[in-house]
Amino acid sequence: LWAFPRVDSLAIGIASKHGKRKNYKVMKERLLRFIERYYPGMSKTISVRGAYIPFFSAKDIQDMPICSRNWALIGDAASFVEPISGEGIYYTIYSAEILAQCILEKELALYQQLCMKHFGKNLVKASQVFKYFYQAEFMEIMIQMAEVSLLARRIISGMISGSLDYLSWKSRFRKEFFKILGDFIFNANITIKKEIVTNLFKLSPKYYGLFSRNKIS
């Protein structure tokens, strides 16, 4: 769920990777129940609107042409959406700034290359780890580790906020691994330890590629 306060209203929304139309009714009902629970009576006065956020594969982000001789795409249309958080406004503004500079300098052909240089590689990496990120066991481990380790909280919050990009979070994790392990050993109670260990064994071996030095494909 997300909420954007406005001058005379509050925009509340729900995001889900289940973007098929058959799920729209279920998601709408869930949102209305949430609003009615926390803002009684408001669900009867709101207007329900929505749009699909396009998520692209790593290959699409790398290979899809986003400009030519007399045209260019920015933002969502250019595949610039962060697939884990759904963030797109930042990349729309950033790509527009790059495009404007390319137009001013009459170097439109460099637009795609510059976008990939400044933020495209991070989107590619996010697209690659997306399939791992929202699995229940992995999410539970992150939440549990954040509860017992300040360093884990900083890494996770950095990933979510965007201050720590997906190209560098693995190296940050490896650097702090033994400190985080120490937090787990000394700060976690026996219940949390059992839950984390159980979830680790449930994870597919593919997950450990997230923390290896090899590239994820």
pLDDT in tens, 170-187: 788 889 999 999 999 999
Interatomic CA distance for residues 74 and 120, integer angstroms: 12
- Measured between alpha carbons, how far is 79 from 55 in angstroms, rounded to an integer? 7
Q: How many other β-carbons are positioned within 10 Å of the β-carbon of residue 54?
A: 14
pLDDT of residue 109: 94
Average pLDDT over residues 98-104: 97
Asked if residue 51 lies in contact with residue 58, where contact means CB atoms within 8 angstroms, the answer is no
pLDDT, mean of residues 19-26: 61
Q: Is the predicted pLDDT of residue 17 greater than 90, yes or no?
A: no
Using the predicted structure, report yes or no on whether residue 217 has a pLDDT greater than 50: no
Quote the Cα angle for 183-161-72, to 5°: 145
pLDDT at 216: 44
Whole-number Cα distances in Å, 18 to 12, 15, 28, 61, 207: 18, 9, 13, 21, 22
Work out the mean pLDDT of the chain and round it to a whole number.
82
**Residue 158 or residue 42, greater confidence:** 158
Residue 81 burial (C-beta neighbours within 10 Å; 0-12, 13-18, 19+): buried
The answer to whether 174 and 211 have CB atoms below 8 angstroms apart is yes
Q: What does the pLDDT average to over 14-43?
A: 72
Cα separation, 192 vs 203, in Å, equals 17
% of the chain beyond a pLDDT of 70:
83
Q: pTM for the complete prediction?
A: 0.70
Write out the chain in H/E/C secondary structure.
CEEEECCCCEEEECCCCCCCHHHHHHHHHHHHHHHHHHCCCHHHCCCCCCCCCCCCCHHHHHHCCCECCCCECCHHHHCCCCCCCCCCHHHHHHHHHHHHHHHHCCCHHHHHHHHHHHHHHHHHHHHHHHHHHCCHHHHHHHHHHHHHCHHHHHHHHHHHHCCCCCCCHHHHHHHHHHHHHHHHHHHCCHHHHHHHHHHHHHCCHHHHHHHCCCCCC
**Could you tell me which of 85, 90, 74 has the C-alpha nearest to residue 126?**
85
Domain ranges of the chain: 2-44, 58-127, 135-211
Reply yes or no on whether the pLDDT at 205 is more than 50. yes
